Amino acid sequence: MNAILYLIWRSLVGIVRNFKKKKGQLVLVVFLVVIFGVMIVGNNQVDDLAQWIPTDYLTTAYATIVLIVAALTIDNGIKKGSSSYRMADVQFVFPSPISPKLILIYGFLKQFAISILVVLWFVFQSFNIRNIFGLTAQGFSVFLLVTFIVVMYMPVVSMWLYSITLRKQGAKRIMQRIFLGLGAVLAIAIVTLTIIKGDPIEAAQIFLGGSYFQYIPILGWLVTLLNAAKLGFDTWTWISLALLVAGFVLILWRLLSSEIPFYEEVLKQTVRKEKQIAAKKGGMSNMNLNSKKARKATITYKGTGPKALFYRQLLEYKKAGFLLFDRVTVILLVLGVVGGYVLKNTGLPISIALYAAIYLNFIFAFSGKWVKEMNNPFIYIMPGTALAKLWYATAANHLKHLVDGTAIFVPIAILTKLDPVVTLGFILAYAAIGAIYIYADVLSRRVFGKLHKGNIANIFKMLCILFVLSPALVGYIIITSMFPDVILIQWLAPLGIVAYSTVINLLIMLFGKKIFVDVELI
């Protein structure tokens, strides 16, 4: 144990030392701690919340998300296991004489730290989540507890299922079929209910909110515990919490007592994880790391010089998916349909859709192809002006935002009978604000250099973007609420956001244009 404790201790010391060396990072951490403090204090003092969506939707939405995440984690877990180790662990800890059980515990300790970080991320979202579902401060604490349990459970369950399937030949396939069958039953039930009720949201609510659901191990207990966020604790809540803790301990115990030959399996997952971390540090999304073989595709270059960057990126999009239609677009399309039904059922103002989409774009915006250009020397050494390189390296991303904006707003427009001109304005506003995210990212890399990398700088960047965006968004609210019945105003207001964003984009481009000139600035 000494070696593991030493490793953990020295890693912590290393973090502190790093702050000593990189004072800029320390400043960012202090800044975030202050914001975090404000969030905690503010959360306890603010109880008069807007509640955009009925609290009942919380359980349904959360259960749906947990189901999807669980399905993906379990599927991946059965196939490859799970890992919270780094390559250095694989290189130094695994071949050492340290007991495999201790190594496993070390992995769980690391997972514990990750779970805490996930919970902290949700604390930053506290006002949004509380506002959307009208949760009290205590209710939100329950939400955080459930999230923590979910994040702790997923890798342990994955590893446990994986260890079971390792023992018998063919068990992996049987296990996958069982889960596939369960998924199919669930899907058929929700689709049938949707046909009967004519509304997928109501169908999901009936199915996932049913009282029998609490008897389903882990998922049912989680939902029961989450119900306490709105209804307070009762006997069933305590029983569910106790069952969740007992279940976790039991699975952990089973895992520790099993003989998993996990070196090779963990290695696969760790290599993948390293790629994810590298992608994240580079400011990219890791959503496309799962991508299978590249499709056959061709493109005709209709230009030379920096324009070649644009066509090459289009070729990559074609190879990875269907033109600019990829996994993110599908997710946004589904969210557009769900959002359309929520707006239709609740009668919420349509502007909520715009804000929600802009917020979602926050999450997906920093995954553009332009970020990858920085990892390759070609763009720096090729002929062309700095501004042309920046424009053509990001142009495909603007098209992608238009496609994604269409995926969100067209279903919403159909379901809520939104005016076509307003819909078009929303799509353009989505793309224009998406461009702000891109160029703010460019500028952030120019200004902060290597400091830019990492979660802390990302959060700081997001706060700055919110600050820049707020005049346009506030202006939009004021104008559209002052003249709710003047259709011309409703048409022009989204275009106002587009105009404002274009000016901001041009300014940021001018300041950040040298990003592809000097490799030291990133």
Chain residues binding another protein by CB under 8 A are 294, 301, 303-309, 311-312, 315-316, 319-320, 372, 375-378, 380-385, 517-520
Question: Shortest CA distance to 508 belongs to which of 424, 446, 428, 431?
Answer: 446
Residue nearer to another protein on the CB measure, 306 or 434: 306
Distance CA 36, CA 124 (A): 7
The nearest distance, CB 507 to another protein, in angstroms, is 24
- Amino acid at position 165, single letter: T
Distance CA 158, CA 78 (A): 6
Residue nearer to another protein on the CB measure, 312 or 461: 312
- Both tokens of residue 383? 């002929």
Residue nearer to another protein on the CB measure, 259 or 518: 518
424-441 in b/e form (b: 16+ CB < 10 A) is bbbbbbbbbbbbbbbbbb
Distance CA 425, CA 412 (A): 13
The nearest distance, CB 376 to another protein, in angstroms, is 5
The nearest distance, CB 117 to another protein, in angstroms, is 28
The nearest distance, CB 522 to another protein, in angstroms, is 10
- Amino acid at position 208, single letter: L
Q: Residue 148: how many CA atoms within 13 Å on its side-chain side?
A: 15
The nearest distance, CB 521 to another protein, in angstroms, is 9
Residue nearer to another protein on the CB measure, 283 or 411: 283
The nearest distance, CB 276 to another protein, in angstroms, is 14
Residue nearer to another protein on the CB measure, 374 or 432: 374
Residue nearer to another protein on the CB measure, 257 or 300: 300
Residue nearer to another protein on the CB measure, 293 or 417: 293
Give ∠ CA 494-499-502 in degrees, rounded to 5: 125
Residue nearer to another protein on the CB measure, 58 or 284: 284
The nearest distance, CB 355 to another protein, in angstroms, is 34
Query: Collapsing DSSP states into helix, strand and coil, what is residue 18?
Result: helix
Instruction: Tell me the β-bridge partners of 322.
Output: 325
The nearest distance, CB 304 to another protein, in angstroms, is 4
68 close to 90: Cβ distance less than 8 angstroms: no
The nearest distance, CB 318 to another protein, in angstroms, is 9
Residue nearer to another protein on the CB measure, 40 or 519: 519
Contacts of 105-113 with CB under 8 Å at 24 or more apart are: 105/4, 105/256, 106/4, 106/7, 106/8, 107/83, 108/84, 108/156, 108/252, 109/8, 110/84, 110/85, 111/84, 111/151, 111/152, 111/155, 111/156, 112/152
Residue nearer to another protein on the CB measure, 379 or 508: 379
- Both tokens of residue 289? 């790391």
Kindly give, in sequence order, each residue whose CB lies less than 8 Å from that of residue 397, ignoring residues fewer than 6 positions away. 368, 369, 370, 434, 435, 438
Q: How many CB atoms lie within 10 A of CB 130?
A: 21
User: Torsion angle of alpha carbons 34, 35, 37, 38, nearest 10°?
Assistant: 120
Residue nearer to another protein on the CB measure, 382 or 506: 382
The nearest distance, CB 315 to another protein, in angstroms, is 7
The nearest distance, CB 4 to another protein, in angstroms, is 33
The nearest distance, CB 278 to another protein, in angstroms, is 12
The nearest distance, CB 235 to another protein, in angstroms, is 54
Give me the DSSP letters along 293-312: SPPP--------TTHHHHHH
Distance CA 174, CA 184 (A): 15
- Amino acid at position 240, single letter: S
Residue nearer to another protein on the CB measure, 320 or 365: 320
Residue nearer to another protein on the CB measure, 79 or 307: 307
464 close to 440: Cβ distance less than 8 angstroms: yes
In 115-210, beta strands by DSSP E: none
- Amino acid at position 282, single letter: G
